[in-house]
């Protein structure tokens, strides 16, 4: 494969990544909107924002459904970061 061909392939791959990133962003904001509703419900009921057992169940469930190529520890790090941001919204 020559450099020009590689550059064209990379452009195509990067276009795919850009499209995927847009969908991920849309879904993260959709998740955040639901998290805000959860936070309001918890506040109204006097419940704590943090539910470590629920967070652990989400992470374990995602690991169980994971078919790679990301390793489960990568999935755990990603979801831990996502849930931390969702907690901040709820607070």
In which domain, by residue range, is 27 found?
3-90
Span 40-60, mean pLDDT? 94
Which tokens sit at 83?
A: 């849930």
Residue 30 has a pLDDT of 98
Crossing angle of helices 72-90/3-45, nearest 10°?
50
Q: Are 86 and 32 in contact (CB under 8 A)?
A: yes
For the cut 90, the answer to whether the pLDDT of residue 71 exceeds it is yes
Identify the band that residue 91 occupies on the pLDDT scale cut at 50, 70 and 90: confident
Output the domain CATH number for residue 44: 1.20.59.10
Span 12-18, mean pLDDT? 97
For the cut 90, the answer to whether the pLDDT of residue 37 exceeds it is yes
What is the rounded CA–CA span in Å between residue 89 and residue 43? 12
For the cut 90, the answer to whether the pLDDT of residue 78 exceeds it is yes
How many domains are contained in the chain? 1
Span 31-50, mean pLDDT? 95
For the cut 90, the answer to whether the pLDDT of residue 69 exceeds it is yes
């Amino acid at each position: 494969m020559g450099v020009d061909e590689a550059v064209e392939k990379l452009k195509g791959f990067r276009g795919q990544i850009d499209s995927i990133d847009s969908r991920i962003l849309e879904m993260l904001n959709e998740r955040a909107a639901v998290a805000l509703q959860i936070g309001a419900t918890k506040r109204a009921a006097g419940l704590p924002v943090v539910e470590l057992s629920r967070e652990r169940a989400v992470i374990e469930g995602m690991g169980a459904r994971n078919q790679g190529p990301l390793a489960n520890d990568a999935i755990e790090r990603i979801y831990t970061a996502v849930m931390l941001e969702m907690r901040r919204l709820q607070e």
